Chains A and B, each alone.
Chain A
Amino acid sequence: MELLEFARGPGLIISVCIFAIGVVWRLLGIFKLGKKTDLSKPRSTATIAGGLRMILRKMWPHKEFLGDTAIATFNGYLYHIGWFIAFLAFAPHIAFVERETGISWPALPNAVMYVATAVAILGLGVALLRRLTDPVLKMLSNFDDYFSWVVTMLPLITGMALIPPEKYTEPVPLALHLLSLELLLVWMPFGKLSHAFLVFVSRGITGAAFARKGLRP
């Protein structure tokens, strides 16, 4: 079997399955521990609204912290947005999804994609530099942080290697690009990239607790 065939076929199926099972396993692992009912008299019972409020409120730091976290916040937004634009709005990606699922949506021009990818690469570069030089980040970081950085960066790099459009269908680079995405899918449920779904869980739990106490998020 050719590498591209593997990446488009069994590789994709296996990685999606590992991703799905991993996410379910991780969430079950969290919720199976259970928790006791809080018997204190709540100030508010609107805990779901509280959870949602916290999910939204935490999208941006309180002004009291913005001065110290501005670079990390701006940079975080840069590479997240850049990465997702490249992932979701690039014509060949949409064509790929359409082929697999029948679902499609309008693409953005290639030039926008290139800029988005460059921004994401630059942002991830800054993030790594900060992690390697900031004493707090250096101390907190472990294998997960660096490996997650690598698997996030790989689809961008392998994608850039497919430019210009004439190279979009070259089998080996295309296979490597697909495999890099599959590696990301496989790793996501196990490492810190799981914040993509856990962010709703942890913010939601705290938001609900805040609502019970009548606290503003």
Chain B
Amino acid sequence: MSTEINEHPLDTESPRFSIKKPEVRFDKQGDLADEERLKRALQGFVKDFSSTTAAYMESCIHCGHCAEACHFFKVTGDPKYTPIWKLEPFKQTYKREAGPFAFAYRAFNLKPKVNVEELEEWQHLLYDACTVCGRCTMACPMGIDIATLVSQARHGMFAAGLVPHELWAVAERAEREGSPLGATAKVLKERIEWLADDFDTEIEIDRPQADIICTLSSIEIMKYPQSIVATAKIMNHLDLDWTFRSDGYEATNFGLLSGNAAWQKDMSMKLINAAIAAGAKTLILPECGHAYGALRWQGANLYGKPLPFEVLHISEFLAQQVSSGKLKLKKMDKSVTFHDPCQVSRRGGATAAPRAVLNALGADLRETRDSGDLNYCCGGGGGVVTIHRADELRHAVFGIKMQQIDATGAELPVTSCSNCRQTFDDGQAHHKWDKTMASLLELVADNLTD
């Protein structure tokens, strides 16, 4: 596919005030004919159909309960944000092309063939208005895992060149440069050099062999470099055999978020190969939600065999060190509330880990009304934070978080995902909120016992 991006035609004529335009905006990559775009989308959808997809697509009873779990529906009340509706073209394609009664659907045109205009319209629903947080899965009485289906549907959208520009661009940059935000290996090494100097901390990089490989999110490298120092401080404090590797450090996976399975594999393979090259027993993923889902739960499937090392989220690693008694922490004299990164908790199964660490920190943990596996997403997951046209919707969704966090009365919100943290920082600035999201990793690093 061409890498050219066709911008929307300039509109200099429309009135500028009080009219919200365009109502529906969609982006296209490349200059494919509509017919070819459609063909690629449908092929992309069909490629992902499995017995799991089929069971889910066949089981929906149209009860609408999933809407009540979705923050986008909750803040807008707009039925189009009903999670299962976001899959309508995918579902329609399944019924027509692969379901048990596909022949009848085609013969009598009971489900019309999806058209490119529908796909363009659904781009907003599949990307801008879904953080793939999986809260809807918890509400579905049939147990349909809608978030997994949205990720599958994105594969077809990417193949058709129907991805929001910004998300597409960061994914393409990540594939080309190795980082979505320009945190190339060279940038990482330079940062590590000045961070080591500034913070007087030994930061291991590119050791040929190490028991533990630590990885980073480019958001940490570019926006929260203290996380790099915090990681090093903790690993050194524990006297572990560890290193960062410039050939496999970027744990974010915009191939996964944008829907390009080949890029997803490329990005995961860099980490896998680096860990194997170092003979690592453990690979620690950074404070990043989707990085955990991408490598912990999908990495082996992309590699084609079980990973020859253990994969841990940093919060899991810290919890293990705390419970084994190796990591002793000073007590914080603060009330905190924890924002669960969806992909680590609800989708990843590591919900207890950060709470064990906060307990070791002596924090007065005050849970939000919806917490743990039922936590509300910050609104920036699934790549949504990169999509500028979705800002207004994302800021509205963020209102739920602010309200629930304020209601706890906790002094400090804490999370273990830099993407959530970035979304919180942006939401804080937008809403002029008085709370700043803190990093669990950095809290631990700041409270190591001497």
Contact = CB atoms under 8 A, between A and B. Distances in A.
Interface string A191-217: 010110011011111110100011110
Contact of B82 (A38, A139, A207): A139
Contact of B61 (A190, A195, A206): A195
A139 B300 contact: no
B49 interface: yes
B295 to A, nearest CB: 9
B142 A202 contact: yes
B301 A203 contact: no
B142 A199 contact: yes
Given A29-B101, A136-B67, 6 more contacts: A33-B51, A58-B140, A64-B374, A68-B68, A195-B59, A199-B59
Contact of A135 (B79, B101, B346): B79
Nearest to A215: B349
Contact of A190 (B65, B101, B144, B370): B101
Interface string A8-36: 00000000000000000110111111111
B55 A140 contact: no
Contacts of B69: 65
Interface of A: 25-26, 28-36, 38-41, 43, 54, 58, 61-62, 64-65, 68-69, 72, 76, 134-142, 145, 190, 192, 194-195, 198-199, 201-207, 209, 213-216
B202 to A, nearest CB: 31
B51 A65 contact: no
A54 to B, nearest CB: 6
Nearest to A26: B100
Contacts of B140: 58
A41 B311 CA distance: 9
Contacts of A205: 52, 55-56, 143
Q: Which of B54, B69, B307 has the most CB of A within 10 A?
A: B54
Interface of B: 49-56, 58-65, 67-69, 73, 79-80, 82, 84-85, 98-101, 137-145, 296-301, 303-307, 310-311, 346-349, 369-370, 373-374
Contact of A198 (B55, B79, B296, B370): B55
Given A39-B304, A141-B62, A215 B51 contact: no
Contact of B65 (A32, A65, A204): A65
A136 B79 contact: yes
Contact of A62 (B303, B307, B374): B374
A142 B91 CA distance: 13
Name the residue among B65, B143, B298 with the largest chain A CB count within 10 angstroms: B143
Contacts of A206: 137, 143-145
Contacts of B53: 33
Nearest to A60: B141
Contact of A202 (B62, B144, B373): B144
A213 B297 contact: yes
A19 B311 CA distance: 48
A195 B98 CA distance: 19
Contact of A29 (B52, B73, B99, B307): B99
8 residue pairs, one from A and one from B, having the closest CB atoms: A29-B100, A203-B143, A68-B68, A214-B349, A39-B300, A202-B59, A206-B143, A213-B349
A135 B63 CA distance: 12
A190 B99 CA distance: 11
Contacts of A198: 55, 58-59, 142
Given A62-B139, A139-B85, A206-B145, A201 B297 contact: no
A184 B140 CA distance: 25
Given A34-B51, A41-B307, A203 B142 contact: yes
A201 B62 CA distance: 17
8 contacts: A29-B100, A30-B55, A32-B51, A58-B143, A139-B82, A201-B59, A209-B145, A215-B349
A213 B82 CA distance: 26
A139 B139 contact: no
A72 B65 contact: yes
A54 B143 contact: yes
Nearest to B99: A29
B85 A40 contact: no
B62 A192 contact: yes
Contact of A30 (B100, B303, B311): B100
Contacts of B51: 30-35
Given A39-B306, A137-B62, A202 B55 contact: yes
A207 B143 contact: yes
B303 A39 contact: yes
Given A139-B79, A198-B59, A206-B137, A41 B306 contact: yes
Contact of B348 (A29, A31, A141, A213): A213
Nearest to B100: A29
A96 to B, nearest CB: 29
Contacts of B304: 39
A136 B100 contact: no
A140 B146 CA distance: 15
Nearest to A199: B142
Contacts of B82: 136, 139-140
A76 to B, nearest CB: 8
